[in-house]
Every structure is written in C-alpha cells, then in structure tokens.
Amino acid sequence: MIYTFSINTEKENMYDITKNVQKAVDESGVKNGIAVVYTPHTTAAITINENADKYVVMDILFGLNTFLHNRPEFLHDEGNSSAHLKSSLVGCSEQAFVEEGKLVLGVWQSFFFCEFDGPRTRKYMVKVIEC
C-alpha cells in the first residue's frame, strides 16, 4: 500500500509532515519496520531535521540559497537549476524506523517536505516495510 499526501507550497519552505507519516504507519498496521517517505518531484526533497526552533529551517533554506544559488552559466531555461541541484543533494527520499507502531525519531527530529521551486501543489508518498 502506498499512502499519498498532497501539499500546497509557497515559493520555498520546509513543511513538517511527521503527523502524516505517522498516520500512514498507523493505517499500515505495521508494528515494527521502516517508514520510507518519497516525493515524485525533481525540485523538491524529503529530509529529517530539527522541528523545535523555526530558525533552523530558515537557516537551512538560507544556507542552500547562499551556497547553491543559481549561476549565470546554467543552461536549463526554466531558471530553476538551483532547485534541481538542491533536490539531488537533499534527496527525494528519507526513512525512519518504526517500533511498536510509532516512528522512532530523535527528540528534535521531524520529517520535512522541502519545496525549492513553488508555489505548487505537490505530492509525497509513504510506504511501510515490516521487518
């Protein structure tokens, strides 16, 4: 079973999607395993990082823009090559363990959907491996 979720994004942001990942785990009925989160977009990504201080997300986005900004030499005429680059570096999937039906995340960890080229209506999907 693939659990699919939609999200309406801004130009650029990171959205805490942990509740929906846990919901997929709940619906799967898997007690022990691995939850894999995937996004089918090439200018977005999935990551796990800090959920406590909103400045962490702001600094990650600012850092990515500072260090991986668009370059005048880029050839792709949609002008979003920086977003494609971020997508491959952060990655389109991330995973966490499940124990007794609950995601085993660190105290400060959440799953985030990363939008690098919005606003758009985006999708992300969850699958749970029993193991």
Of residues 50 through 109, those in contact with its own copies by CB under 8 A are 50, 53, 55-56, 58-60, 62-64, 66-68, 71, 73-78, 81-82, 84-85, 87-97, 99, 104-109
Site string for its own copies, 10-49 (x = CB under 8 A): ----------------------x-x-x-xxxxx----xxx
For its own copies (CB under 8 A), the number of binding residues is 61
DSSP result, the chain:
--EEEEEE--SSEEEE-HHHHHHHHHHHT-SSEEEEEE---SSEEEEEEE-S-HHHHHHHHHHHHHHS---TT---TTS-HHHHHHHHHH-SEEEEEEETTEE---TTEEEEEEESS-S-EEEEEEEEEE-
Q: Minimum distance from CB of 10 to its own copies (Å)?
A: 18
- Closest CB to its own copies among residues 1, 11: 1
